[in-house]
Amino acid sequence: MTIASSNGTNGAKTDGTLNGTNGAIGANGASASISTDSQNGVKVPVRPDRTTTQGKESKLYTIPEGADEAMVEAVRTMLIGVGEDPEREGLLKTPKRVADAMRFLTSGYNQSLEDLINGAIFDEGHNEMVLVRDIDFFSLCEHHMLPFMGRAHVAYIPNQKVVGLSKLARIVEMYSRRLQVQERLTRQVAEAIQETLEPQGVAVVMEATHMCMAMRGVQKPGSWTVTSAMLGVFQEDSKTREEFLSLTRHRPAFF
Ligand SMILES: [Zn+2]
């Protein structure tokens, strides 16, 4: 068994640059494309976005030209809407800052699973559970565009093939940096690992606190939402599932 704790040393850092030429978004639409991994010759399906609406994959739009200026203008409109003066010194650069921050926080749209994995799949003949726990993640809820954040625990039981441990954290990060609901995010991470490695099973548990519940709405700051996705042996075999859960169970101490 391999257990890695990612807390604090989360290797999944991105530099925030946007890859505007990534053909995986927009150009491919919502359809799944298959590409061949150059090292292993393994077919790695790439679905840039697994967002579904009533079972159908939603359409992906190419970011239109002039979108940056339009976003800046929209933030300015919001400032006026809340009764602020956008010409006030402290707010002069706010629309641009907010637009830039939004681009960064949604930069997962510009990444694809294929680019992220980048051939880091190894045929190790390893068939014991691999678990990376305490992967910090930050996402935005798609209903309010307010943050939800917490920790993810990701495990799989390989079928010979393993992936670099940091890639698990990167997968969590890629799907987190999109507008999300926690349930879908959890499932997307599990499905991405399933498709990439075709392991015996995948288990993902995410524990998060939602600012849209803490700061508004029911205003319950202490509440945690826990979601899980179990595939393969984790779904079929209660012992395997229990083993995983006992290894991840602890009081969340993120806040
Ligand atoms: Zn929300």
Tens-digit pLDDT profile for residues 182-221 = 999 999 999 999 999 999 999 999 999 999 999 988 777 7
Residue whose token pair is 């068939």: 127
Q: Can 219 be counted among the known catalytic residues?
A: no
Q: Output the CA 68–ligand 1 centroid distance in Å.
A: 24
Q: What is the pLDDT of residue 7?
A: 54
Mean pLDDT score of the chain: 81
Query: DSSP code of 47?
Result: -
* Mean pLDDT for the stretch of residues 240-251: 86
Per-residue pLDDT of 51-106, as tens digits, reads: 555 556 656 667 888 999 999 999 999 999 999 999 999 999 999 999 999 999 99
Tokens of 238: 């209660």
Judge whether 141 counts as a catalytic residue: yes
Residue 124 to residues 161, 202, 203, Cα–Cα distance (Å): 6, 18, 20
Least confident span in 24-38, 104-118, 235-249: 24-38
Q: Of 190, 200, 122, give the one whose Cα is nearest residue 152.
A: 190
2: pLDDT confidence band, cut at 50, 70 and 90?
confident
Q: pLDDT higher for 32 or 84?
A: 84
- Decide if pLDDT at 233 tops 50: yes
Q: What is the rounded CA–CA span in Å between residue 111 and residue 49?
A: 9
* Cα 190 from Cα 12, distance rounded (Å): 17
pLDDT in the model for residue 254: 52
Instruction: Please answer whether residues 214 and 207 qualify as being in contact, where contact means their C-beta atoms are separated by less than 8 angstroms.
Output: no
CA of 36 to the centre of ligand 1 (A): 38
Tell me the pLDDT tens digit for each residue of 166-185. 999 999 999 999 999 999 99
Q: What is the pLDDT of residue 216?
A: 87
Q: 138: closest CA among 97, 100, 185, 98?
A: 185
B/e letters for 191-220, b = 16+ CB within 10 Å, e = fewer, are bbbbbbbebbbbbbbbbbbbbbbbeeeeee
Between CA 230 and CA 190 the distance in angstroms is 7
Catalytic residue flag (residue 142): yes
Among 143, 183, 236, 250, the one annotated catalytic: 143
Name the catalytic one among 69, 124, 142, 236.
142
Mean pLDDT over 229-242 rounds to: 95
To the query of whether residue 250 is one of the catalytic residues in this protein, the response is: no
Question: Is 143 annotated in the active site?
Answer: yes
Model pLDDT, residue 252: 53
Q: Does position 134 have pLDDT exceeding 90, yes or no?
A: yes
Lowest-confidence pick of 1-5, 34-38, 136-140: 34-38
Active site residue 210: yes
Q: How far is the CA of 54 from the centre of ligand 1 (A)?
A: 19
What distance in angstroms lies between residue 179's CA and the mean position of ligand 1's atoms? Answer: 10
φ, ψ of residue 223 to 5 degrees: the values are: -80, 145
Nearest to 227 by CA among 205, 245, 242, 252: 205
180, 182, 188, 200: the catalytic one is 182
The pLDDT assigned to 157 comes to 97
Characterize the bridge pairing of strands 130-141 and 2-5. parallel
Catalytic residue among 57, 84, 144, 160: 144
Q: How many angstroms separate the most distant Cα atoms in the chain?
A: 63
Distance 181 CA to ligand 1 centre (A): 8
Distance CA 62, CA 29 (A): 9
Q: Ligand 1 centroid vs 216 CA: distance in angstroms?
A: 9
Q: Helix, strand or coil for residue 40?
A: coil
- Give the bridge partners for 227, in sequence order: 206
Neighbouring C-alpha atoms within 13 Å toward the C-beta of 138: 12
Q: How confident is the model at residue 142 (pLDDT cuts 50, 70, 90)?
A: very high
29: pLDDT strictly greater than 70:
no
